[in-house]
Amino acid sequence: MDYITRKFQAQNIMLNDRVISEILTLSKGHPQDTMLLCSEIYYSLLEAGVKTLSLDFVRLGFEGALLSLSPVSDELLDELGSLGNSRRVLISLAKGLLIYSGMSGNPNDIKRAVDLLIDKVIIEKTGRGAYRFVEPMLKITLIDESRAISLQLKTACQQ
């Protein structure tokens, strides 16, 4: 918290513990995600000519950070799309689904997909059947993209 506070104050930006807490909550404390989020917040403040960091600017910065990660997740999904069940397993994990009991398919194929995702340092195992994303904002980006695709499919089917 102190580091983030010092960096913003060095740019003469006023802030409080509540906005810092929100930054850390949104980035899940992941160093790279925190830096990306703070950068997006800073440039939003610059564009607006504002010197006081509010929760609205934190949310605006968060949206910008997710947008900047979108091409990365698109590239990752394209790569994983050619690797069996990996893409489907990754999106299921992002949604919080139980991959072995909540997905159809051969458990050995699912296991190979999980092993590949672990090898690529996209997820890590935290317990029996439990995994976490190494980069938390990637998980959010995948969920958002999955929702957008589902909405597009529903709209197309209704027409």
**Per-residue model confidence as pLDDT tens digits over 40-58:** 999 999 999 999 999 999 9
Give the pLDDT of the chain (159 residues) as one tens digit per residue.
799 999 999 999 999 999 999 999 999 999 999 999 999 999 999 999 999 999 999 999 999 999 888 888 888 878 877 667 888 888 888 888 888 776 677 888 889 899 999 998 899 999 988 899 998 888 888 887 767 666 555 666 766
Handedness of CA 128, 87, 148, 137 (dihedral sign): positive
Check if 2-68 and 71-158 are the same fold.
no
Q: Which CATH number fits domain 2-68: 1.10.340.30, 3.30.750.80, 1.10.8.60, 3.40.50.300?
A: 1.10.8.60
Q: In the chain, what percentage of residues exceed pLDDT 70?
A: 87
Q: Report the interhelical angle of 17-27 vs 55-81 (nearest 10°).
A: 10
